[in-house]
Chain A
């Protein structure tokens, strides 16, 4: 029976590289996928592309590829990543240049293109925003990006043309991992159970360390050995859909039924209907079985037919965020922080700006969930003031009013910080799949 081994090289855009390199060296992998694109990352990338047409891909792409490419070449591991972000073509060209410098003759690169529908966005102004129920045209004039969540199709096609390194833009996270299974095992749209299993594999792997004991440890309750040296996961799966998730021996972390269950439900709503571009996966009957230490088998996933739409993330300019912070410590620190809060409130009233979601947090007391009564025993507390404004100048004023607490506020404030940034928000619409044209560009090194 044919089986493959798929590793996870990154769980988010800024993730560690060493565990991925470790997996490529010792994991006997056939594939490794690097997931590096969150909802907002692509809108930010789109902004940098607008400033420089040769940019707009993940900032760590070349740093990663410098070590990844030679290992892919030597160990014959195919690499799949959405680090192309807003500009997969420019990303491929940059990686090709790097690969040529490294002398990796014959390596075939591919860029999957077609997720970026910003040019056509005006066709969809009457479409409803999923989050608010308003029509898309309510954002007109502010829209700065539009990217469809593609499925595994483009990657599968690139693999069938012999590509070794595949760089995409917005492809749904689990689809990156599903693609090699579909390609290797010849699964198709009618293989519902298989697509469900493949999507489960993708979902377990897409956050890398989150299934091997990362984001899990709770001292005294959930111990994770050598967390500092967390190993990244891989899955071994055969064409019947049987498989397990594991990590390299000698790395830190642990793979257990508990780590797998936490990751299974991570960012899932109805477990019977996990909608991806490839299928509607059903995880409600999934079970995890421990085969041996750090080796967990999975079963019970299935799926229904995919929907006929792609979800499109629409990025739009949403004003500015201003933030200031100041700490108070020692005797009576909470009362001084509360007085500081009152001062800033009254100062900002002087300007009568339209500040949306003006927010006062006491870090250490109520910044994460405003439900906890201040305890008298706290030895320090940090005031955080933040709000959204129309203009940068107004946002700056919020930050400044906290900083001026130094010489004008209650006694003993220290460690002021401030931040002002433009807010790029994301909303979503659904677009018919038939509207999206996926194409692939190839480049073979030193030919």
Chain B
């Protein structure tokens, strides 16, 4: 099973910081992602893309985790040389993670 099977995501940017939400379709799966998908796991998953730390916030009422990825956007939308300067495509990669 992949995260895609049980959760969805949206990615946003502020300057050089990316935030990726991970939201379960069914609240009964929240405990599972809370245990497995730690900030460390997410930091490793994105490898060199994320130069800074990853902080995780929990929203149990919404069945959601919010990951904040520092120094993750090559300087941010106004100076990055990346194709996707906002990093809006990043979240979908998280859904490929096996769980």
CB neighbours (8 Å) of B21 from chain A are 261-262, 265-266
CB neighbours (8 Å) of B64 from chain A are 261, 265
Q: Which of A128-173 contact B (CB under 8 A)?
A: 130-131
Is B79 touching A384 in the complex (CB atoms < 8 A)? no
B31 at the interface (CB under 8 A from A): no
Main secondary structure of the interface of B (DSSP, over half): mixed
Is B14 touching A384 in the complex (CB atoms < 8 A)? no
| B16 CB, min distance to chain A CBs, angstroms | 6
Q: Which of A216-248 contact B (CB under 8 A)?
A: 216, 218, 221-222
Is B83 touching A384 in the complex (CB atoms < 8 A)? yes
The 3 closest A-B pairs by CB, nearest first: A267-B12, A265-B21, A262-B10
With the chains together, A216 CA to B4 CA distance in Å? 13
CB neighbours (8 Å) of A321 from chain B are 81
| B76 CB, min distance to chain A CBs, angstroms | 7
| B67 CB, min distance to chain A CBs, angstroms | 10
| A355 CB, min distance to chain B CBs, angstroms | 10
Report the nearest A residue to B63, measured CB to CB.
Answer: A261
Interface centre among B19, B66, B90 (most CB of A within 10 A): B66
Q: How many chain B residues touch A (Cβ–Cβ < 8 Å)? A: 41
Given A261-B62, A262-B23: A357 and B75 within 8 A (CB)? Answer: yes
Q: Which of A67-75, A81-89, A326-334, A419-427 sits within the interface? A: A419-427
With the chains together, A361 CA to B83 CA distance in Å? 8
| B60 CB, min distance to chain A CBs, angstroms | 9
Report the nearest B residue to A257, measured CB to CB.
Answer: B62
Is A271 touching B59 in the complex (CB atoms < 8 A)? yes
13 contacts between A and B (CB under 8 A): A131-B15, A215-B10, A262-B9, A262-B10, A265-B10, A265-B59, A269-B19, A287-B62, A321-B81, A368-B89, A370-B47, A388-B79, A388-B81
| B72 CB, min distance to chain A CBs, angstroms | 11
CB neighbours (8 Å) of A358 from chain B are 81
Which residue from A267, A271, A272, A369 sits with its C-beta under 8 Å from B49?
A: A369
**What is B's interface to A at a CB cutoff of 8 Å?**
4, 8-10, 12-17, 19, 21, 23, 25, 46-49, 55, 57, 59, 61-64, 66, 68, 74-84, 89-90, 93
A-B residue pair count with CB separations less than 8 angstroms: 124
**What is A's interface to B at a CB cutoff of 8 Å?**
39-40, 43, 130-131, 215-216, 218, 221-222, 258, 261-272, 284-288, 300, 318, 321, 323, 357-359, 361, 363, 367-371, 384, 386-388, 423-426, 428
Given A131-B76, A218-B8, A285-B61: A387 and B19 within 8 A (CB)? Answer: no
With the chains together, A218 CA to B25 CA distance in Å? 13
CB neighbours (8 Å) of B68 from chain A are 269-270
Is A368 touching B84 in the complex (CB atoms < 8 A)? yes
Q: A39-B77, A268-B12, A269-B17 are in contact. List 4 more A-B contacts (CB 8 A).
A: A265-B66, A284-B59, A370-B49, A423-B78
Is B62 touching A264 in the complex (CB atoms < 8 A)? yes
CB neighbours (8 Å) of B61 from chain A are 285-287, 300
